[in-house]
């Protein structure tokens, strides 16, 4: 009874006193607003996976529209340029479901497989840069041989002067360091210069790999090796893009014929 009378008295007091009424309403709005904000944050947290999936799909769609993903068929005749762009690279978004970074040979498992168009040998990137290549495929899953693997190496180049070399995992097996090897001694690289894909292998030209962190001469001074701070943090991978080069089979077949003639 006391509680009922107490609440009734407070209601009457607030109702017939404008100052107290305004104070009560403002306080109520503040409490309600904070409550709604907490509920909204909780709902946003629950929907993070869906939002991330949506963003990853959108990124893949946008990558498919990049000029670097297209091949130009150009006909130049009688001063008339007729250029038709064809899709050369397509990107398949996938979520990382298993990953290792502390072994000599590291692999990444993703939730997409042959049913989604993935085949062995395709390159893999993420928003930050180069990740690795597909080595095993089942209907619904694929395994990627990470750049953090002692047998991984990919064609790479210095972003400024286009000198070609190849990138592999660093000699210290540090998940944040790579090694750019066999760059021409004519190159004049600088610490901090960007290293990107050359376009000679599985990836379009210009995919980030990292930045030069130190320089070192190779035995005999014929070529240069450089330590590279990797652009990708392999310890935090969540989403990747499998790169499907539509012209890869044609190029490989032609180069195989060349080797037979040598």
Closest listed residue to residue 166, CA positions, set 131, 127, 201, 135: 201
In the prediction, which pLDDT does 54 show?
57
The answer to whether 147 and 135 are in contact (CB under 8 A) is no
- Quickly state the pLDDT bin for 131 (edges 50, 70, 90): very high
In this structure, the number of other CB atoms found within 10 A of the CB of residue 246 comes to 13
- Name every residue whose Cβ is closer than 8 Å to that of residue 104 and which is 6 or more positions away in sequence: 149, 150, 173
In this structure, the number of other CB atoms found within 10 A of the CB of residue 165 comes to 24
In the prediction, which pLDDT does 184 show?
87
Q: What is the pLDDT of residues 46-81, one digit of tens each?
A: 555 665 665 666 666 666 655 544 444 443 333 333
Residues pairing with 165 in the sheet: 156
- Quickly state the pLDDT bin for 221 (edges 50, 70, 90): low
Phi-psi region of 49 (alpha: psi -120 to 50; beta: other; left: phi over 0): alpha
Q: Is 171 helix (H, G, I), strand (E, B) or coil?
A: coil
Pairing outcome for strands 153-158 and 194-197 = antiparallel
CA distance readout (Å), 223 to 71, 140, 154, 186, 215: 32, 43, 17, 8, 11
Question: What are the helix and strand counts (H, E) for the chain?
Answer: 4, 14
Q: What is the pLDDT of residues 102-128, one digit of tens each?
A: 998 999 999 899 999 999 999 999 989
């Amino acid at each position: 009874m006391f509680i009922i009378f107490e609440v009734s008295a407070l209601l009457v007091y607030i109702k017939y006193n404008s100052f107290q009424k305004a104070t009560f309403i403002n306080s109520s709005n503040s409490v309600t607003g904070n409550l709604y904000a907490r509920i909204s944050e909780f709902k946003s947290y629950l929907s993070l996976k869906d939002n991330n999936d949506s963003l990853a799909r959108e990124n893949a769609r946008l990558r498919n529209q990049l000029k670097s993903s297209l091949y130009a068929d150009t006909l130049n005749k009688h001063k008339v340029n007729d250029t038709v762009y064809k899709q050369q690279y397509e990107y398949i978004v996938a979520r990382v479901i298993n990953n290792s970074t502390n072994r000599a040979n590291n692999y990444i498992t993703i939730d997409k497989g042959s049913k989604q168009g993935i085949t062995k040998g395709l390159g893999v990137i993420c928003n930050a840069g180069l990740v690795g290549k597909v080595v095993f495929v089942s209907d619904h899953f694929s395994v990627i041989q990470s750049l953090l693997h002692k047998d991984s190496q990919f064609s790479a180049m210095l972003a400024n002067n286009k000198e070609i070399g190849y990138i592999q995992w660093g000699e210290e097996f540090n998940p944040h360091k790579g090694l750019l090897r066999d760059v021409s001694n004519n190159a004049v690289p600088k610490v901090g210069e960007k290293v990107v894909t050359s376009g000679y292998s599985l990836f379009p030209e210009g995919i980030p790999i990292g930045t030069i962190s130190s320089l070192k001469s190779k035995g005999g001074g014929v070529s240069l090796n450089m330590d590279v701070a990797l652009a990708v943090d392999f310890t935090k991978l969540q989403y990747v893009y499998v790169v499907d080069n539509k012209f890869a089979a044609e190029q490989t077949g032609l180069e195989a014929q060349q080797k037979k003639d040598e």
